[in-house]
Amino acid sequence: MSQDIDKTTAGAANPSRRRFLNTTALMGLGGAGLAAGITALPGGTRDAVAAPATNGGLNPHVNPGELDEYYGLWSGGHTGDFRVLGIPSGRELHRVPCFTPDALVGWGITNESKAIMGTKPDGSLQFTVGDTHHTHASYKDGNYDGRYAWINDKINSRIARIRLDYFVCDKITKLPNVMGFHGIFPDKRDPVDPAINYTTRVFCGGEFHIPTPNDGRDLDDPTKWQALFSCVDAETMEVRWQAKIDGNCDLVATSFDGKLAAANQYNTENGITFQDMMAAERDACVFFNVARIEQAVKDGKFTTIGDSKVPVVDCTRAANTDPKTALSAYVSVPKNPHGVNASPDGKYFICSGKLSPTATVIELEKVLQYFEGNVADIDDTIVAEVEIGLGPLHTAFDGRGNAYTTLFLDSQIVKWNVDAAIRFTAGDTSAQYVVDRLDVHYQPGHINASQSETMFADGKWLCVGCKFSKDRFLPVGPLHAENEQLIDISGEKMVLAHEAPVRPEPHDFIIFRRELLMPKQIYQHEDFPNAITDIANAGVTRDGNKVTVKMVTYAPTYDPLEFKVKVGDEVTLILTNLDRIEDLTHGLAIPDYNINFIVNPQETKSVTFKVEKPGVYWYYCTHFCHALHLEMRGRMLVEA
Amino acid sequence: MVIDMPSLLKPFRLLLLLVLAMLAAATHAQTSTYEARLPPELFSARDMCAYTDCASVLPGAVRFSERKGSPTFVEGFDSSDRLLGYVMLSSDITDIPAYSGKPIIKLIGMDANGNFTGIRILKHSEPILLLGIPETALNRFNDQYLGKHVGDRIEVGRTRAGEDVIGVDAISGATVTVIVQNQVIMQSGGAVARQTGILEPIVREQRAFVEMGHQPDWETLVTEGSVQSLIVQPEDVGLEPGDTPFIELWFGYLNHPDVGLAVLGDIGWSRLMERIGDDQAIFIIRTAGAESFKGSGFVRGGLYDRIQVRQDVDVFNFYDLDYYNLFGVAAPGAPRFSESGIFVIRGDSFSAAYPWSLVFLGNRIDQATGQRSFANFSADYWLAADYLEGGRAVIKAPDAPWVRIWKVRAVEIGIFIALLIVVSIAYANRDRLTRASTRKNKWPVNAIKYSAWIVSIFFVGFYLMAQPSITQVLTWFHALLLDWRWELFLLDPFIFIFWIFIIVTVFLWGRGLFCGWLCPFGSLSELLYKIGGAIGLKRFQFKLSQRSHDKLKWLKYVVFGVLLAVSAFSLTTAEMLAEVEPFKTTFLVGMFNRAWPYTLFAAGLLALSIFMERPFCKYLCPLGAALAMPTTFRWFGLKRKQECTSCKACAVGCGSLAIDEKGRIDARECMLCLDCMVLYTDDHACPPLAQERKRREKVGLPLTPIGKDGYYIPIKPVPAAGATN
């Protein structure tokens, strides 16, 4: 009898190991459950999550053999790339090419990367420049889930998705009828379906006004020019819908309940000249009622622009005067505001005044009430508007009720208490909302804190992207590195702890705990339909003047080590790295053919090129792989 | 005279060519398998052995089957089509990469009982073997497995008899290579042995976890055994003893939710479980010491060569893809650490319901010589019963090695015991045998004795290799003084049984029954003498004079004394000196497998035996000397008559020269051949008895039966009724 019982438990044993996944996945929503008190770290003890501390004293130094506690995802600016930093060390761990070619990995060289980047009919790249400003990652249960990050290209209005398992760009979408795509933010849950408590949309703010479509019409009639706010599907990366808006979108924010997206706006005047753009005392933060917009699209209440099939809804002020049916609402914010940031408690969006020394706190519950018709004036949703310093731009949070805002003109960070600011605005003049100020070096732009954009802001590190570095680093000529300064915010007073140079010119960044990511170590053949999984399948095949070279690498050699082609052939070379050891990456460079790319362990890539000059061309491994790395080379023999 | 120089040089030139050719061959042999091009069919063809020499690893096999089984292997058959064993291609079974990151492809032969018969490297890519360590070193390493059983726990490192671990010597500088080789050989052999019934298949039942939902702190984890420590002290690795451990590791099993959550925290644990799927994971942190437990082998070869998880015979190694960062230990009170990692155990043969151990593969440095040797340290782990549904799995304790041997050799043991019993019974009934024999016809005694010799020489000696030796006596002396472990002696059942027999019979009858009837070498020696005599060499046969013999016979005691004395200082030296026994050369290793001095010595003794009865036994055998001494206290001696003191008839025929001039038998020298006992009751040979016979015949008295005292039963007149005397 007892034996029978044993057998039953034995049968159930294997699945039971996995049983707990579901329960723990649910635990994330509990909030306080986040990895609290990971104490025994190689570098020393760390405080528990968001625990109020009396003084600073965090150690920014990561000794040899130790690991950074946080990942930082950084935009590269007009290098057009995406970067990964370790925080607190500030060490750059990785660069992910997306919008612009990269000579190291062969981005823009290989057929696969070209297909993602987009090509002209002749096969050459459509764009080789990009300007990345903002990067944000996908959410689940109010925290990052490690699936994706998205990044914008302002120059060519493209959005790229970065897979956070391989840290590669896997899709790029060009937004139609948008110029100056600036702000970007994924949603955090679905506004309607409570089961979808993760990112399914990415919102994109359009900045410049252009004719729609921009095909040469209305060149002299700026009143007909338009800016669009776009919603992109997180999985398919197709544009779900667009919205016509007044004003120029800068940053984008989304609410934790998934119901609201917002973009701060300058130039609500819809002006074209400098003076026009700064004419009004108050610009706006435009709120989008996501559920209503998508219902309108479903109901067919949309138009399209030119040959774009994307549904376009009207979110201008004039078309949305009745709150009960409005798709959008414009909360006024002084003056040419910059930045809109969601507080980790889910209650407020905070806009910075830029040309006004103020921060404006908008209560989201009131915005929702406005859409219900329960708030008479949309500006009644502003619960605080306080002076904090000159040139306020962006705001981060510590999870303890404090906001940290960069003051561009003052070259300062101001720490202020949101509740105190609300009390002050409500009339309590004794409320001391400014807690601390700290000089930074210099001209701070973006700011973010560890876990600040999640429900789990832990109030440990604050990073400030200083646009000017002046005298802070060894001089290297006129072009200076920018200065990413790290501030310990675990105490009442901010403490400048560390600074690190970055190659210009990153804008925005996010910082989150390292255990949230599980990057893959090597590739799998299944990732590549053209993978050459066996040496036996390597070789050369010819179809007319089209030649396919199937090549594999295994340290320290290629197979085949020699192949023959003729002038005029179109060669497609497919290369699979058969090595399976971490770090055993190989390169392939072909002299005079402008070809160099790498294949990581078990990765496959291909290049296609026209054979133009006869002769011997030694192809060789450019990525150190083995003691016999130098000997790793083969011959392309080109017959005249 | 004109000397023709070139013609004189000719032979030298030939010699030179020969040497060059040998050098070339040696060089060729050294590099021949590096990145060798193997026919692709070898890896896929049904008829594997058509593409490589399978018989080279299974000597004697003339025919091989097609590939069969999963993973595949082939069967090898001898000339009479009897299944001889199995041959497997390592790459069919496992592709564990060696140092180069690529597997070493080898052909492995195993006999039908699971003993390795040959291991040959077909292809390797090890740069280390190209750059300094000769490939022959790997061959020598592989040769260590020959004759070892697939079910043994063979490890690179020291033999640890207590833990049932057989060590093989590593190749310095090629640790990864040899550890992988060990794993490949044992896994390949094991995979085939489990398919063919040599080994029982290993199925470790997985048990569901009992989730208690408590949040243990570090101290609780330690108390309940969910984390364990492995501590190596400096002196363990040959360093000066110090205040801090050489390395202190803490480790634990992560799949159990209570333990895993406590160690990794919610997100860390759930992400890890998501990532490893059905696999299992452990964590290791280093809380003291500077030596890395990760080493550097994983950097290029991918293998972490300093740690392993072992569960019974299964060894789980870790590769770079099995490693994840351990960022921190969430449990309050956890110690600070300086190195950490999460390691994934792949596959389902590992079960947390069974005990396992973490092994740290270290080096021991001999301070005197600076030599490094491998030293493995392990710590056990077994998840608490409360954490497992149904508690911990019940382990079928494996038979102790000696039990296994006794079981495996039960038939031979039975035959051997039967032999000893038959001989003992025969000897116990020696009176009956000797009475049935006469000086002219000793066959009733000799038939049994010669049969015993033949069985001893061929069955006991050559087949069982159960030749008792003085080294065993020396070992006992030491074991008695230091640490007596029955297991050690039980490991060789035949020697063990033989010694029980020897001890019993020495005290009953004297050493002669063993020495004269059953000692394989003694039997061989005397048999040669008898054969020599029978084939007409009798006239060349001789013996020493009694005087010389009486002096020379003490030599064996000297030999024994010297051995015993030397053994007090060095057992190893004593065992080397014990080569004075030609037993090893004759039976254990074989005449033709030893260096010529040994062969010459053994062959010389046997050659001398043709002409002289038992020269080794009489004058050299230290074992005989050791047994002779207690023989003094034997219980039952041979019989003597009054006349024996003056009659020398027996002494003349005594091959052992054991009867002195006063007719006394020296039991210490006596081989219990029973010749004198045959005479004792032979009324044609024993002078007093013959005299009496003749007298009676002359006077016409009847020849009454011969009594126990060796005389005719006296004729006594039957007394008249009622009379008394």
Task: Identify all chain A residues contacting B329, using CB atoms and an 8 Å cutoff.
Answer: 38-40
B283 touches chain A (CB under 8 A): no
B391 touches chain A (CB under 8 A): no
- Coil/strand/helix, residue B607: helix
Residue of A nearest to B205 (CA): A10
Q: What is the ipTM of this complex?
A: 0.81
Q: Which of A65, A518, A579 sits opposite B271 (nearest CB)?
A: A518
Could A516 and B205 be called an inter-chain contact, meaning their C-beta atoms sit closer than 8 Å?
no
Is residue A459 a contact partner of residue A48, using CB atoms and an 8 Å limit?
no
B96 touches chain A (CB under 8 A): no
Give residue B174's pLDDT: 63
Give residue B1's pLDDT: 42
CA distances from A56 to A34, A69, A343, A434, A487 (A): 22, 17, 22, 18, 10
B300 touches chain A (CB under 8 A): yes
A18 touches chain B (CB under 8 A): yes
β-pairing, A328-334 with A338-342?
unpaired
pLDDT at A53 exceeding the cut of 90? no
- What would the pLDDT profile of B466-498 be if each residue is shown by its tens digit? 899 898 888 787 777 765 667 667 767 888 899
The gap from C-alpha B456 to its chain's centroid, in whole angstroms, comes to 20
Q: What's the Rg (C-alpha) of chain B?
A: 35
Give residue B526's pLDDT: 94
Task: Identify all chain A residues contacting B340, using CB atoms and an 8 Å cutoff.
Answer: 42
Compute the distance between CA of residue B292 and CA of residue A506 in angstroms, rounded to an integer: 38
A479 touches chain B (CB under 8 A): no
pLDDT at A74 exceeding the cut of 60? yes
Write out the DSSP string of B519-554: -HHHHHHHHHHHHHIIIIIGGG-----HHHHHHHTT
Compute the distance between CA of residue B687 and CA of residue B711 in angstroms, rounded to an integer: 11
A10 touches chain B (CB under 8 A): yes
Could B265 and A513 be called an inter-chain contact, meaning their C-beta atoms sit closer than 8 Å?
no
- pTM for the whole structure: 0.68
Give residue A622's pLDDT: 97
User: What's the one-letter identity of residue A246?
Assistant: D
Task: Identify all chain A residues contacting B270, using CB atoms and an 8 Å cutoff.
Answer: 20-21, 24-25, 27
Specify the DSSP element, H or E, that contains B267: helix B257-276
A522 touches chain B (CB under 8 A): yes
As a whole number of Å, the end-to-end CA separation of chain A is 84
C-alpha closest to that of B157 among B135, B146, B147, B172:
B172
Task: Identify all chain A residues contacting B101, using CB atoms and an 8 Å cutoff.
Answer: 555, 579-581, 584
Give residue A50's pLDDT: 42
Look up residue A223 and give its DSSP letter. Answer: G
Compute the distance between CA of residue B224 and CA of residue A40 in angstroms, rounded to an integer: 20
Task: Identify all chain A residues contacting B275, using CB atoms and an 8 Å cutoff.
Answer: 518
Q: What is the largest CA-CA distance in chain A?
A: 91
Give residue B9's pLDDT: 45
pLDDT at A49 exceeding the cut of 60? no
Question: Which residues, 6+ apart, have CB-to-CB distance to B122 below 8 Å?
Answer: B33, B36, B38, B42, B52, B89, B105, B106, B107
A43 touches chain B (CB under 8 A): no
Compute the distance between CA of residue B259 and CA of residue B217 in angstroms, rounded to an integer: 10
Q: What is the dihedral of CA B173, B179, B185, B191, to 10 degrees?
A: -160
Mean model confidence pLDDT for chain A: 90
- What would the pLDDT profile of B9-27 be if each residue is shown by its tens digit? 444 454 444 444 433 433 4
Could B336 and A44 be called an inter-chain contact, meaning their C-beta atoms sit closer than 8 Å?
yes
Residue of A nearest to B265 (CA): A35
Q: Which of B265, B268, B327 sits opposite A67 (nearest CB)?
A: B327
Percent of chain B with pLDDT over 70: 86
- What would the pLDDT profile of A197-219 be if each residue is shown by its tens digit? 999 999 999 999 999 999 999 99
Task: Identify all chain B residues contacting A600, using CB atoms and an 8 Å cutoff.
Answer: none
Structure tokens at B156: 């690179």
Q: Which of B207, B269, B328 sits opposite A13 (nearest CB)?
A: B207
Compute the distance between CA of residue A42 and CA of residue B329 in angstroms, rounded to an integer: 10
Q: How many beta-carbon pairs under 8 angstroms link A with B?
A: 143
Give residue A21's pLDDT: 39
Q: Which residues of chain B have pLDDT under 50?
A: 1-12, 14-31, 131-132, 723-725
Give residue B401's pLDDT: 59
Q: Which of residues 134-173 of A touch B (CB under 8 A)?
A: 143, 146
Could A35 and B268 be called an inter-chain contact, meaning their C-beta atoms sit closer than 8 Å?
yes
Task: Identify all chain A residues contacting B344, using CB atoms and an 8 Å cutoff.
Answer: none
Tell me which of A28-42, A502-516, A558-572, B195-209 is least confident: A28-42
Q: Where are chain B's structural domains?
A: 40-195, 218-387, 410-680
Could B338 and A41 be called an inter-chain contact, meaning their C-beta atoms sit closer than 8 Å?
no
**Share of chain A residues as helix, strand and coil, in percent rounded to the nearest 5:** 10, 40, 45
Residue A164 has φ and ψ, to the nearest 5°, of -90, 5
Is residue B670 a contact partner of residue B649, using CB atoms and an 8 Å limit?
no
Give residue B594's pLDDT: 67
pLDDT at A1 exceeding the cut of 70? no
Task: Identify all chain A residues contacting B334, using CB atoms and an 8 Å cutoff.
Answer: 39-40
A65 touches chain B (CB under 8 A): yes
Could A9 and B270 be called an inter-chain contact, meaning their C-beta atoms sit closer than 8 Å?
no
Q: Which of residues 540-559 of A touch B (CB under 8 A)?
A: 554-555
Q: Which of A13, A18, A582 sits opposite B320 (nearest CB)?
A: A582
Give residue B691's pLDDT: 87
- What would the pLDDT profile of B168-226 be if each residue is shown by its tens digit? 776 655 666 777 788 889 888 988 998 888 888 677 889 999 999 888 999 999 999 99
